[in-house]
Structure 1
């Protein structure tokens, strides 16, 4: 008889063996280190531009993204992601004319023209006619819906200064991809963001925990023909904006609102930019933000070391990829946990074209479609590694772990990208590694099959260990109860 994993006799024997507590040979063992501490998890999030400009009045999307409820959508039921972080985009566009001068941004897609509040340069007084606080209602509404559902961390971020602060009046970028902000508007860019933060606090019931003045500022692809807002900044100008922003926030009583920087496209560029700042600029930065577009490359560890040396945290403030299966998302998230050690992680476009969106949608046509498999892959992380948990070392790039002290629960998320194999999880270093024979609930998602987010009750503690079989291209989450560090 051929002992194949498709052989029902063998499967029965394996099940009996598991229940009796004798492990099948594991392809590898992950030992969780209870003495480690990679920070207290601040949460999971999403940027609200551009999708919330179009769909910001749809409460079902708010339920899907910002609760852990089971939500009806498109004829099915989705497990809410439970995001608690919303990144609000301060727009750079307006349609008004100022002394015959108008915005030059014909290449920016309509859905990506984010309305800005400071519509002309006549006055910095937010109560004057130079400011229009009624614009961008949909994005603002989604932020309010998120807060009503439990979101408790908000970040204000900018892709470009207001169009009239730009040398060519084009918030898509300069003609040659160089710096586009006018020198006399460097401080005004900081004034703009600080004024929004203050207005949000006083009028919207939103306190921004941080303000980010840049979006991939060292990149040179922000040109006048871009289809979205963007702006290149030199290191010297970044430093000026950071200093001015810290001062403007302080002058408005927002001393606890951090200046985050610099939302570079990759880990390596983020490190280079950080190392280019002098000590004064670095001290004005309350958190390092970086984007995850370097994929499996880049020195995540060096950026983490730089942040640790400065005594500040890291957020992966923007991640996206075109892989609808969620394979790349899982790979890069697990590498972040093992090397970058962020305390928060945010996705870029919750609703977007095939591959990029968690839900497929056409922003220009304002139409929603189906849910991508990567939605369920992300749910494996967001629904289980929750705010306030302590992130632990696992010694393996395919495994992440977090500990909930209040509930004495250990959460492990692991993925297998190779041939099917057993993975054993060793908790022997914990003072109380659960209870022998205790059920370990597990949730499973296949990257390339119809299994979306399935709960299984077939895994049990065997002494100080437990194990599970992983099909190829699978991510699983385990919640181990009665655990003490």
Structure 2
């Protein structure tokens, strides 16, 4: 026996040392007493996929609507950004597929055409039927005939305002008339966003999508004029202004600092895109100082055949929910054409309505959207790759845990503070797991749940509590 022990002991130590070198171990602590923002929801922009999908055969468009908006059949997105089309010059043909969103006022002497944009409107109301409850109207550009370039994709060089100064009032009237029409037809936009990445210099004539540069002085004037029209039309009790949907948190901070106090009276919400920037925390503090709701209103990335896009998506959500502390998080293109540079969580082919594929990003996003529901409150965790949330009734704790590394990790979830009745887990990974309900999960021992977290994976834990916290 002594000789066997002498052989086995060094061998065991060697195996453990080798294991320790290849396996990372981390411990996650959660503090339900340190509470952050209440989640309003998860969302998507309807530009531009709804302009195409809304015209699909009824069974297919309903199926796609279920996948995007129904929480039982799909993602359950409840925050919807509707694109108020400016409408491009009818002599032009340069927009990307779906990008030529029709405007409601095709020319200066025309009457409003309320039957236009039928495809996007179908998706909008389909979302409402499936439980979506927060709606925002967003303008990317004024109608082409209000612009200097006579084109709704931008000015000649992209660095100057494209909205003709003589149409400032007309543009404000246009936006608020559309909000009023939807209000009268059963759908209320809580916010109206008159700008989209307004300080960017890439909105040029004959581009692939609508866009318009606005100087800060112009932004101030438009906000005030839109606010006045909302009030005069009896809409201001239900619809207020959001601004400014800048490309980065840095640009958003700069714009907010140049918006004057009179204009800010009409603003209820700051919107930022999250493609770049290092000022998430500063932007959060600005929103708190000014008493404005804060959204991450646009982020998207190109799909991948493996988990890389899902991991990048998850890391962005973690950064925005933990540092920016946004109340809502909105994905750019929930649906897009299957292509090398596709943004879509769901891939389609606009030339063949039978082609439809849920990309891995769909399931990666679902790890958040299906379990951290509207009304849940983000709570503190010590781990930057974990998002923790508590249900409104304090009876459910959700942890979304992302392993962004290329090796399996051992995760110790310290849940000793909770009186847990039951728990379950779902995972998306490279191992043929797509929001898979894990049937073999470890027990909690001395308040610690220890599990192996596979490389490049997202695991969501749902704990039902016997005693509310």
TM-score (ref. length: structure 2): 0.88
- Deviations 1:203-225 (Å, cap 9, x if unpaired)? 2x100011101111110000013
Distance 1:258 1:30, change over 3 A: farther
Q: Distance in 1 between matches of 2:125 and 2:62?
A: 10
Q: Distance in 1 between matches of 2:131 and 2:253?
A: 33
- Could you say which residue in structure 2 is the equivalent of 1:16? none
Q: State the shift of 1:37 in Å.
A: 2.4
Q: Distance in 1 between matches of 2:230 and 2:326?
A: 25
Asked if the contact 1:103/1:169 (under 8 Å) is kept, the reply is no
Q: Distance in 2 between matches of 1:315 and 1:391?
A: 15
Give the 5 Å matches for 1:252-291: 252-255=233-236, 256-291=238-273
Q: What root-mean-square deviation, in Å, do the aligned CA atoms of Structure 1 and Structure 2 show?
A: 2.3
Distance 1:389 1:380, change over 3 A: same
My pick for the range that moved more, 273-282 or 166-175, is 273-282
Q: Distance in 2 between matches of 1:3 and 1:272?
A: 59
Say which SS state the counterpart of residue 452 (structure 1) adopts.
strand
Note if 1:442 corresponds to 2:442. Answer: no
Note if 1:314 corresponds to 2:294. Answer: yes
- Deviations 1:333-353 (Å, cap 9, x if unpaired)? 111111011111111111114
- Could you say which residue in structure 2 is the equivalent of 1:34? 32
Say which SS state the counterpart of residue 34 (structure 1) adopts.
strand
- Deviations 1:249-279 (Å, cap 9, x if unpaired)? 1111112312001111111111111112222
Asked if the contact 2:272/2:295 (under 8 Å) is kept, the reply is yes
Q: Distance in 2 between matches of 1:155 and 1:461?
A: 43
Give the one of 302, 307, 327 matched to 1:343.
327
Say which SS state the counterpart of residue 445 (structure 1) adopts.
strand
Q: State the shift of 1:365 in Å.
A: 6.2
Matched pairs, number:
437
My pick for the range that moved more, 167-176 or 464-473, is 464-473
My pick for the range that moved more, 371-380 or 450-459, is 450-459
- Deviations 1:256-310 (Å, cap 9, x if unpaired)? 312001111111111111112222222321111111212xx52211111111111
- Could you say which residue in structure 1 is the equivalent of 2:409? 421
Which structure's residues are more often strand, by fraction? 2
Q: Distance in 1 between matches of 2:380 and 2:141?
A: 38
- Could you say which residue in structure 2 is the equivalent of 1:18? none
Note if 1:114 corresponds to 2:101. Answer: yes
Give the one of 453, 460, 479 matched to 2:435.
453
Distance 1:3 1:197, change over 3 A: farther
Asked if the contact 1:441/1:459 (under 8 Å) is kept, the reply is no
My pick for the range that moved more, 148-157 or 387-396, is 387-396
Asked if the contact 2:311/2:402 (under 8 Å) is kept, the reply is no
- Could you say which residue in structure 1 is the equivalent of 2:3? none
Distance 1:179 1:227, change over 3 A: same
- Could you say which residue in structure 2 is the equivalent of 1:386? 373
Q: State the shift of 1:362 in Å.
A: 3.3
Q: State the shift of 1:240 in Å.
A: 0.9
Note if 1:329 corresponds to 2:328. Answer: no
Structure 1: segments with no counterpart, 5+ residues: 12-24, 71-79, 95-101, 123-128
Asked if the contact 1:439/1:461 (under 8 Å) is kept, the reply is no
Say which SS state the counterpart of residue 462 (structure 2) adopts.
strand
Q: State the shift of 1:103 in Å.
A: 4.5
Q: Distance in 2 between matches of 1:257 and 1:132?
A: 22
Q: Distance in 2 between matches of 1:40 and 1:330?
A: 19
Q: State the shift of 1:62 in Å.
A: 0.7
Asked if the contact 2:24/2:408 (under 8 Å) is kept, the reply is no
Distance 1:407 1:484, change over 3 A: closer
- Could you say which residue in structure 1 is the equivalent of 2:462? 479
Give the 5 Å matches for 1:246-257: 246-255=227-236, 256-257=238-239
- Could you say which residue in structure 2 is the equivalent of 1:64? 67
Q: State the shift of 1:114 in Å.
A: 0.4
**Runs of 4 or more off by more than 6 Å in structure 1?**
1-4
TM-score (ref. length: structure 1): 0.85
Q: Distance in 2 between matches of 1:468 and 1:254?
A: 53
Note if 1:201 corresponds to 2:183. Answer: yes
Q: Distance in 1 between matches of 2:457 and 2:96?
A: 37
- Could you say which residue in structure 2 is the equivalent of 1:131? 112
- Deviations 1:139-169 (Å, cap 9, x if unpaired)? 0011111111111111100110111111121
Q: Distance in 2 between matches of 1:328 and 1:54?
A: 27
Give the one of 465, 469, 485 matched to 2:452.
469
Distance 1:393 1:283, change over 3 A: farther
Asked if the contact 1:120/1:131 (under 8 Å) is kept, the reply is no
Asked if the contact 1:103/1:170 (under 8 Å) is kept, the reply is no
Q: State the shift of 1:411 in Å.
A: 0.8
Asked if the contact 2:385/2:403 (under 8 Å) is kept, the reply is yes
Say which SS state the counterpart of residue 267 (structure 2) adopts.
coil
Q: State the shift of 1:313 in Å.
A: 1.8
My pick for the range that moved more, 269-278 or 134-143, is 269-278
